[in-house]
């Protein structure tokens, strides 16, 4: 018989977790749904816009509070990271003080009040999505604009210092084993548990047979994803005869213009969730590359549940146990060779069976929700 949880949990989200259309909010949204299925009662605190989006969240939460971010220059002129300082909201502290229920802080962004003395009677849980200063440093390296490079570099330094605030968390939940090992070295006296990202997939729905294009997808406004898309267009698919689709949120004009220069390349900007799912499902090869060896790439999990062949570089798999389910390319030459090879191989029922066994065991939203709730409500 499955456990049910009748206790109440505060969740502080760095952004509105609906629609679940990029990495961090995907984890938050589907975690909320899985907590609800387990019987937990949730009080959700959101930094973001969109009262009209709350109807989708109300069915999972007892209460929802929305706070505005302080996005002016005043939040920049501080040693506190901008992503943290801009979420300094006294109303949040006031609402958290109303009771003694545990608080789940989603991402370093939300941790301004982690060490506040008025919250000393709360169990405080930090949910990591990646090592933030590593992430921001890579954004600085990938950015094409000088002003962005400066901002991301400064923010990386501030995040490195702010990371020390995690000593005030009673429990830290990471998304990958690599991140767990890093944080265990930094905070050897704290309880740190690895719980993979939540993704919303209940079963493997990959299609057997062939597709007729390759796909790269991601939030294209992120410099790292923009850089990956440019690399794949110019250095890989420009020299291959296959159709290549790039899809994602808010691409820069330069990337749109670049794609137009290649007859076999199509860029699809801001597809709906349903359109993106169909693109993933119908592709013959989903190509996913990254320079960020931190966190767990949710688009990788989603692709393995929905898509055919998945071709990645080594950094995409860092800290995961997903190697048996992916094809790995180590450099540009092997990327091309693998793409040519995979366009000749139909995706099989045996591959689907292998994914089902592996993913349902390690990456079940319901099982991982129960693990978290057990940790929180049986915490000693």
pLDDT, mean of residues 255-284: 97
pLDDT confidence bin for 165, thresholds 50/70/90 = very high
**Above 70 in pLDDT, residue 376?**
yes
Residue 124's pLDDT band (boundaries 50, 70, 90)? very high
Flag the least confident range among 69-78, 262-271, 318-327: 69-78
Domains, the chain? 8-199+364-377 (3.40.50.2000), 213-361 (3.40.50.2000)
287 DSSP β-pair partners: 311
pLDDT of residue 208: 98
pLDDT at residue 230 is higher than 90 = yes
Query: Does the predicted model carry a pTM greater than 0.75?
Result: yes
| Mean pLDDT value across residues 166-190 | 95
> If pLDDT is split at 50, 70 and 90, which confidence band does 308 have?
very high
The mean of the pLDDT values for the chain is 93
Instruction: Give, as one character, the DSSP assignment of residue 196.
Output: P
pLDDT for 22: 80
**What pLDDT is recorded for position 56?**
84
Query: Given a cut of 60, is residue 155 above it in pLDDT?
Result: yes
pLDDT reported for residue 74: 72
The pLDDT score that the predictor gives to residue 380 is: 46
3-state secondary structure the chain: CCCCCCCEEEEEECCCCCCCCCHHHHHHHHHHHHHHHCCCEEEEEEECCCHHHCHHHHCCCCEEEEECCCCCHHHCCCCCCHHHHCCCCHHHHHHHCCCCCCEEEECHHHHHHCCCHHHCCCCEEEECCCCHHHHHHHHHHHCCCHHHHHHHHHHHHHHHHHHHHHHHCCEEEECCHHHHHHHHHHCCCCEEEECCCCCCCCCCCCCCECCCEEEEECCCCCHHHHHHHHHHHHHHHHHCCCEEEEEECCCCHHHHHHHHCCCCEEEEECCCHHHHHHHHHHCCEEEECCCCCCCCCHHHHHHHHHCCEEEECHHHHCCCCCHHHCEECCCHHHHHHHHHHHCCCCECHHHHHHHHHHHHHHCCHHHHHHHHHHHHHCCC
Range scoring the smallest mean pLDDT among 87-91, 314-318, 319-323, 376-380: 376-380
């Amino acid at each position: 018989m499955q456990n049910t949880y009748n206790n109440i949990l505060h969740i502080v989200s760095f952004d509105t977790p609906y629609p679940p259309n990029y990495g961090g909010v995907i984890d938050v949204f589907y975690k909320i749904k899985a907590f609800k299925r387990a019987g937990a009662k949730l009080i959700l605190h959101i930094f973001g816009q969109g009262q009209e989006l709350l109807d989708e969240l109300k069915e999972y939460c007892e209460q929802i509070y929305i706070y505005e971010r302080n996005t002016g220059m005043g939040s920049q002129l501080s040693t506190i990271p901008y992503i943290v300082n801009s979420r300094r909201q006294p109303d949040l502290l006031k609402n958290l003080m109303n009771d003694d229920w545990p608080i789940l802080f989603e991402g370093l962004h939300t941790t301004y009040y982690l060490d506040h003395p008025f919250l000393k009677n709360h169990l405080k849980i930090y949910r990591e999505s990646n090592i933030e200063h590593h992430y921001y440093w890579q954004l600085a390296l990938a950015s094409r604009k000088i002003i962005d490079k400066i901002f991301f570099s400064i923010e990386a330094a501030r995040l490195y210092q702010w990371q020390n605030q995690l000593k005030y968390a009673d429990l830290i939940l990471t998304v990958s084993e690599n991140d767990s090992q890093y944080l265990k070295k930094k905070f050897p006296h704290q309880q740190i548990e690895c719980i993979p990202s939540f993704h919303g997939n209940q079963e493997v729905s990959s299609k057997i047979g062939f597709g007729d294009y390759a796909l790269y997808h991601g939030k294209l406004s992120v410099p790292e994803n923009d850089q990956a898309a440019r690399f794949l267009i110019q250095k890989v698919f420009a020299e291959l005869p296959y159709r290549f689709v790039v899809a994602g949120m808010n691409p820069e004009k330069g990337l749109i213009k670049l794609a137009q220069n290649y007859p076999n390349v199509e860029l699809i900007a801001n597809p709906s969730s349903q359109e993106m799912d169909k693109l993933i499902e119908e592709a013959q090869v989903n190509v996913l590359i990254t320079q960020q060896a931190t966190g767990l790439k949710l688009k990788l999990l989603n692709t393995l549940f929905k898509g055919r062949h998945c071709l990645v570089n080594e950094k995409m798999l860092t800290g995961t146990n997903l190697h048996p389910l992916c094809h790995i390319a180590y450099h540009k030459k092997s990327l091309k060779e693998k793409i040519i090879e995979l366009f000749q191989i139909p995706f099989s029922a045996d591959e689907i069976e292998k994914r089902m066994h592996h993913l349902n065991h390690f990456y079940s939203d319901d099982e991982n929700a129960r693990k978290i709730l057990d940790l929180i409500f049986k915490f000693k």
